[in-house]
Amino acid sequence: MKNKVEEYKPGKFFGWVFLITWGSWLIAAYLSYNHPDPDFYSIFLIPGLFAPVLVTIAFIAMPKNHQLRKDFFQRLFDVKKVNLVPLVKICLVMGSSVVLAIFISILFGGSLNQLQLSKDFKFSAGSIPVLLVMVIAPILEEIGWRGYGVDALLNRFSLLTGSIIFGCLWSFWHLPLMFVKNYSMNLLLQENVWFAVNYFASIIPLGIILNWLYVKSNRSTMALIIFHIFLNFMQTSTQMTEWTSCIQTVIIISIAGLIVGMNKDLFFPNLQVYSELEA
């Protein structure tokens, strides 16, 4: 891409995020099997969760990054940047993907009861309140990812390439949680290794979908926070089985493919998305 913003340092950003996150989460994983109190090892999950936003704040706080700072706060708090049309459309599409996956699963012996709301969220975060994680985690992640990380990638790569790279990094970022005792990803691994593989695979096309919404919503961090929270509740509020989740992943990949195919002008040319940073 031409007219790059030189202040962006994607390698250093993701390097620091992974160092902090993996360091704290691997400590939590070790302690989860060697300490009887889940409240103790759960404390080490918190720094990893905060890592993207903390590193973002550190990077934009540098004196030379005044323009990035101004852009960061505008995208986070300016409600007028939120484009409701693509936000509502993608929420409806992703919500429909759950229903479609359940109906397809019925053809293979699945139950219609999967459409019922769960009494408890299908999510476990050790001793940390589940509802807190499902709301706070998307806020922290999106402020970090969209506040600096994604922009840093898209400043160097096309929307398609940058989104795939981000999706892979985002998926890989979660990996240590698989080894934290009684955490959701750990329980998936215990139940069936392919369920765990499906979880990580589903994140990559989601990276494409989220970045498409990001660009269509005028790079609004607020829009992505809303959508990310919606995704969390959508994925955990029904009685959808893990086998059906695998079917939904195929549907999500198809949705991502359709979005790319219908928005070739965004994903394929060397489109400069960040012209407002050049003023």
Residue 195 CA to residue 126 CA, distance in Å, equals 19
Active site residue 174: yes
Active site residue 6: no
Residue 98 CA to residue 115 CA, distance in Å, equals 9
Spot the catalytic one: 6, 141, 191, 228. 141
As given in the structure block, the two tokens for residue 166 are 């981000």
Count CA atoms within 13 Å of residue 129 on its CB side. 4
Q: Would residue 82 be called left, alpha or beta, if left means φ above 0 and alpha means ψ between -120 and 50 degrees?
A: beta
Closest to 230 in 3D by CA, of 113, 98, 129: 98
Spot the catalytic one: 7, 174, 228, 276. 174
Residue 238 CA to residue 120 CA, distance in Å, equals 9
Residue 38 CA to residue 222 CA, distance in Å, equals 33
Residue 54 CA to residue 48 CA, distance in Å, equals 10
Asked if residue 156 lies in contact with residue 162, where contact means CB atoms within 8 angstroms, the answer is: yes
Residue 151 CA to residue 147 CA, distance in Å, equals 7
| Alpha helical stretches, state H, 61-192 | 66-77, 84-106, 130-144, 150-154, 159-173, 184-191
Residue 26 CA to residue 45 CA, distance in Å, equals 9
- Annotated catalytic residues are 141, 174
